[in-house]
Amino acid sequence: VLPESLQVMTKLRVAMEIPISPANGGPSVREIHCEGVVVRQQPSSTPGQVPLFETAIFFSDLKPEDRRCLAEFILQRMLSHGP
């Protein structure tokens, strides 16, 4: 969710912090930096609230280990929150 409207096909530099299970006292988040392209966007706020936009981004240059980390995070969220 973004606080601003973007045009489809807008190129972005993206930085994310993904929570992970720390191994041997390591960090509890993984920082992922990549480039992406907006492929879809729709308003998600209700009238009278700050405008927010659900935004779908195609990540165009994820490293394989970052893609795996992101996929595991998404799967865990889906399984814990249901359909």
pTM, entire model:
0.78
Question: Could you tell me the two tokens for 76?
Answer: 């865990």
Rounded distance between C-alpha atoms, residue 27 and residue 23, angstroms: 8
pLDDT digits (tens, 9 = 90+) for 30-80: 999 999 999 999 998 777 788 899 999 999 999 999 999 999 999 988 888
82: pLDDT confidence band, cut at 50, 70 and 90? low
